[in-house]
Each structure stands twice: as C-alpha cells, then as structure tokens.
Chains A and B, each alone.
Chain A
Amino acid sequence: MTALLTVEHLSVHYSLPAGGLFRRRPLTLKAVDDVSFELRAGETLGVVGETGCGKSSLGKGVLQLVKPAAGRVLWEGQDLCALPAEAIKRCRKDLQIIFQDPLSSLNPRMTIGEIVAEPLEVHYPALARDDRRRRVDAMLERVGLRPEMRNRYPNEFSGGQCQRISIARAMISEPKVIVCDEPVSSLDVSIQAQICNLLRDLQRDTGIALLFISHDLSIVRYMSHRVLVMYLGRVMETGGREEFFGAPRHPYSQALISAVPVPDPDRPPAERSLVLDGELPSPLDPPSGCVFRTRCPLAVPVCITQMPPLSEAAPGHGVACHRWQET
C-alpha cells in the first residue's frame, strides 16, 4: 500500500529565551530530531515514549501547529513545511487532531453544536444551515451523544463525553488523517476502552489513518498496526505491532515493555521487569552519540561517539542501536 503521508527527517526545535544577563545566545531544545516515517491509509501508527521524548511535538510538527526546523511532510504531493499559511489552512480539512485533555481542548463559551459545526463553517462555507445541522446531528449520534445535547456547553459533560465531542469535531470535515495526542490518558479505565473502541470503529468505517500518540504501551498495542518508539527526540525502534511487542530489539524498547505492570498476581513485577536506573538526561543537553547510552545496559565506547543509524533488523523493522544484532 502506498503512503498517505510521508514524513522525512523532521526536526522540531524550540528556542528558549536567553536567561540571565550574560547568556546572550538562546538555548535550543531539540524536541524532535531527524524523524522519518510513513502513514498509510486505514492504518494506525502508534508513537510511544516517555515524558519529554518529543512525541507530542512530532504530532504538532506534522500538522504544522509548530513550524518544523527541518525536514519535509509530504501530503498529496506537496511539502506542508514549504506551503504558505493559506494553503495549509485548506489542507486542515483532511488533517485533524484530538488532544489529551478533553475539557481544556473545547472552548468553554461555545455550545457543543457550535463546536462540532465549526470545521464545516470553515471548510464548507456554502453549506446550507439545515444541511450543516443535519450533519452535526448525525456526527453527534455517530460518536454516541444525543443530538438534543447540541445546545449544551462542554462543562456539562464528563471527560469521556468531552472526548467524544472532540472526536466529532475532528471527524466532521471527513479528514483522512487524525493525530490523536494522548486521547485517552486523562480518562478512567472504563471510559478509555469506550473511546478506543470508538476510534477503532470509526477507522473501520471510514478508512481514516491515525497517528496515535501515547505513553501507555498497552493502549498502543491495542490501537496500532505499527509502532514508533521515541527517546529524547529520536526514533529508537519502529516496526509492526507483532514484531515489536513479540521481539523488541532495542534495549530501550525492551525496558519499556518489561516495565508495564501486567494484571496478573502470579507474575510479580520485581522478577520480570528490567528496571532502568538513572534519570532521563536533560533534553537541552542530550548525551553525545546514542541518546540512550547513559541508561543503556549494553552501552559500549562506540555509543559515546557515534549516533547509531536506524538499521533494518527485518523488513519494516528498524532499530537504532549499535548492538541490535546481540539483543
């Protein structure tokens, strides 16, 4: 299958204001550093990593919500990074986003109906009022809310319901790609499953592609066809779900997977988890060579000097580690 969206060598940098009287040069935080991937129609690519690994910045960089410092995002034959602002706005009909905090991502002064109808107003201004309303009602019903709720405000809904509203807003312009930035992380367990299933249903019905960003490996495993693991802005490993969870090759992926608590009292965590020691290095001053080397159990001198390339361990399975053949 051909790629719907191709991301090549994308980097997202933030410049922090120069602090102090004498430090003149602003600091640069490399949130995303040289990340490439493809997203195919109808598939979900899970992006996993811990706090500060740049997974959210990656999603925002792809959608041009932050301006990438380098790299290309190819969408329908054009590079989004090179397009003028007006042209990007037209592409937003097809490229949508769902945020983590369901309540704070909805304007508290607008009704649910207005919130869901807004993308239609922007992208289909010619649509008659009645048609618009019909489509909003159908969309609300599709995400599991009663259309009669359209005149209510976000503060009257629970977290899970607000996330349904966000999904309706993202879906109503019939996009082809949705970036889901931790869409279920702030929800309760029983609501998480509802939202995950809703996204899976919508994907089955519409063939939409999802870039599913999460720190929760269990959910990424449930949602994704392929997985991309990030650490300090760089890709550590990427591969199909079965290969990745079945036989992770990168020592970081292995530690990450083994650290997930398994709901089974007969498997005590102390024995099976490969606990990483040490602290996450500051993203302002990442280690030289391989960014993971300071916590890696397999680190050797070459890791200090050379950044490992993404080696192909198997077709479609890339590992950025000097010692991947030994893992």
Chain B
Amino acid sequence: MTPVIECQQLNVRFRTDGGAVTAVSDLDFNLNAGECLGVVGESGSGKSQTFLAMFGLLAHNGTATGSIRYRGTELLNAPRSTLDGLRGNRLAMIFQDALSGLTPTMRIGDQMSEVLMRHQGLSRRNARARVIEALEVVRIADPEQRFSAYPFEMSGGMRQRVMIAMATLCRPEVLIADEPTTALDVTVQAQVLRLLNGLKNHTGTSLVLITHDLGVVAGLCDRVLIMYAGRAVELGPVRDIFRRPAHPYTQALLRSMPSLIIDPGKDLPVIPGQPPDLENLPAGCPFASRCLHTQDDCTTERPRLRAVGPDHSRACHLPA
C-alpha cells in the first residue's frame, strides 16, 4: 500500500523570548490511502504543529526541517504556488474554532463557491449547485436559504458542519481535522463524528483526526499515533492501542481517563507531575519523570520507535 502522506524526521522549532522551543522532534509516520489516523496528545505534544507545518501555516517564529511528502511532492518549505494548488483542493484542514476558518463578512455560500471556482474553474452557477449539494450532505436544513447566511447567523455546530462541507467540496484526498469537536457539545459532537465517519466510508478520503479524546479515536480511527512532548511514543492499530497499549504513557492515559465505563467508587489512577518544559527537554525519554517503571537508560538515552507487533511500535526502553 502506498502512503498518501509520508512524514520523515520532522522537527518543528520556535524562537521565543526564553530561547528555542522544540515543538516536534524527529517525527516519522505515514498516512495510508483511505485510512483514518488518530493523532492523540495533550496540549504541547506537537500534534497540531505537525500538520500546521505540513500546510505551511506555522507561526512566523517557527521553522520546520525534515520532510513531509504528499504523493512524492515535498510540502515542507515548498513554494507558495505548490501549496496553493494543493491546499483546499487535494489537502484540506478543519480547525477546532470553526469561526476562524470563515470570513465573517462574506455569505457562506459565496465563500464556498469561491473555492470551487478557483480550484476547479467552475462557473458561479455550477458552483452554487455543488455547494448546495454539499450543505445537504452535512445535513444543514434549508441549504438554499443557508447559502446566503453569514457565519455569525449560525450556531457552533452548524459552522463546524459548514467547515466540513467547505473542506470536502473539492473531494480532497486528505482531510486533517484538528480537534473538530472539542468546542462542541456532546450531542452536536455526535452529529459531526457521524458525518466524518460517513465521509471516510463513502468517499475514500484519508482522514487525520487530531484530538485529546481517546473516546472519539476509538469510534472513528483505524490507526493511532500517540504523541508526547513533540515525539511519537506509540503508533499502532486502534484495537492494539486500546487492548494492548505498549507504552507506559498510553497505558497511564487510558487508565486515568474518566469515562462512562469506569467504576466511580474507586479513585482514578493519575499520571503524576507535569509534561516537561519544551524549552529544556530532558536528554532521555520525555516521559521518564512521570513514568511508573523507569530504568537507568530512560534518563540518558532517547528511545526510538521500535516494532512490538505487526504494524505496532513504541518508543520505550523497557522490555516488552
């Protein structure tokens, strides 16, 4: 199977007042055609910065090195013309805050039509028909009416669905969803997740779901990448991650998560301490200071991703 996206040795750094911050270090992963990859991590784990780098959207004080290729085309530090041809067309991204992705002064129908007119050279009339169709797909009631609505006239859930409709207008090969449901209520989250699920099953789009919520991952993803302090700590099929988590961080994360299936009478086991300071990353494993089972080389040598099963790898020194 040829991967759609190949990321190799990605490093993302930011210059700040306090010195250099390493947001992502030595990240390798592939995204296969038609799969849904869940990228899980806490704030500061580098999960969003990885994909912002891929889209050329890093903040001005950030630099990315390494390689991210889309079907052989290098995206990292690519010329604007290359990126413009792909972004919004073959590669699409939706964000946590749907409002930031929509221009407040334009009618949503016009914003969406413009994407089609630019990337696919459609006439205004044909574009309108496609937009209304897309709004129907995301179950916006009254798409003809909503075509001429402004973003502020819609609820958060509706805006997020409009963003999904807009991101999928050109039938992208890759859709990156960065915390698409974090700002939404549970019942609306369920609507959006159902939509993404349908998209994956019916159009063959490869989906990357960036989230901190393992519950969302379990319901939607095929493979999961767990990130911690800018590194990949575990990568594997979703069932293995939940049934046989191999990295102590993944294990602790699963145990410490309140969910509807835990016993509320018992105290949740917590991960003690805080994630490390990204300005002063420790020499060894970034999780070592919070890990329950450390050995000598954990604090001195950085563990690399190594296979522990078919298609399943972890970055840990401990014996498997």
Shortest CB–CB separation between residue B160 and chain A, in angstroms? 12
Q: Does B320 make an interface contact (CB < 8 A)?
A: no
* Contact in complex: A263, B185 (CB < 8 Å): no
Is B59 interfacial (CB-CB < 8 Å)?
no
Return the CB mask of B236-264 against A: 1 if under 8 Å, else 0. 00110011000000001110111111101
Question: Are B187 and A255 closer than 8 Å at their CB atoms?
Answer: yes
Give the distance in Å from the alpha carbon of A69 to the alpha carbon of B51 in the complex.
49
> Which A residues, 80 to 128, have Cβ-Cβ distances below 8 Å to chain B?
none
Closest to B211 in A: A261
Give the bracket for the number of chain A residues in contact with chain B: 35 or more
Is B186 interfacial (CB-CB < 8 Å)?
yes
B203 to chain A, nearest CB (A): 16
In the assembled complex, which residues on chain B have CB atoms less than 8 Å from the CB atom of A257?
A: 260
Among A160, A197, A245, A275, the residue within 8 A (CB) of B268 is A197
Distance to closest chain A CB from B282 (angstroms): 17
Q: B267 — nearest CB in chain A belongs to which residue? A: A197
Q: How far is the CA of A97 from the CA of B158 in the complex (A)?
A: 33
Question: Taking A189-B253, A190-B256 as contacts, is the C-beta distance between A270 and B197 under 8 angstroms?
Answer: yes
Interface residues of A in 215-268 (CB under 8 A from B): 215-219, 221-223, 241, 245, 255-268
The answer to whether B256 and A279 have CB atoms under 8 Å apart is: no
Q: Is the CB of B271 within 8 A of A273?
A: no
- B266-278 interface bits toward A, Cβ cutoff 8 Å, 1 = contact, 0 = none: 0111111011000
Q: Is B190 an interface residue (CB 8 A)?
A: yes
Chain B, 143-200, CB within 8 A of any chain A CB: 155-158, 185-191, 193-194, 197
Q: Which residues of B contact A215 (CB under 8 A)?
A: 185-186
Shortest distance between the CB of B211 and any CB in chain A (Å): 10
Determine whether A276 belongs to the interface, using a CB cutoff of 8 Å to chain B. yes
The answer to whether B270 and A261 touch across the interface, beta carbons within 8 angstroms, is: no
B212 within 8 A of A: yes
Bound Cα distance A261, B190 (Å): 8
A196 at the interface (CB under 8 A from B): yes
Which one, B190, B191, B242, B268, contacts A196 given CB within 8 A?
B268
- Contact between chains at B193 and A269 (CB < 8 Å): yes
> Which residues of chain A come closer than 8 Å to B264, judged between CB atoms?
221-223, 241
User: Which of A222, A270, A280 has the most CB atoms of chain B within a 10 A radius of its CB?
Assistant: A222
The reply on A51 being an interface residue by CB < 8 A is: yes
Show 14 A/B contacts (Cβ-Cβ < 8 Å), sorted by A.
A51-B185, A192-B258, A193-B269, A200-B267, A215-B185, A221-B260, A222-B258, A261-B215, A262-B260, A263-B214, A265-B239, A265-B242, A269-B190, A273-B190
By Cβ-Cβ distance, the 3 closest A-B pairs, closest first, are: A261-B215, A50-B185, A269-B219
- Apart from the given pairs A218-B260, A265-B239, A279-B157, 17 other A-B contacts in the complex at a CB distance below 8 Å: A189-B213, A190-B253, A191-B42, A191-B274, A219-B258, A221-B264, A255-B187, A260-B259, A261-B193, A262-B261, A263-B242, A263-B257, A267-B218, A268-B219, A269-B197, A270-B197, A275-B194
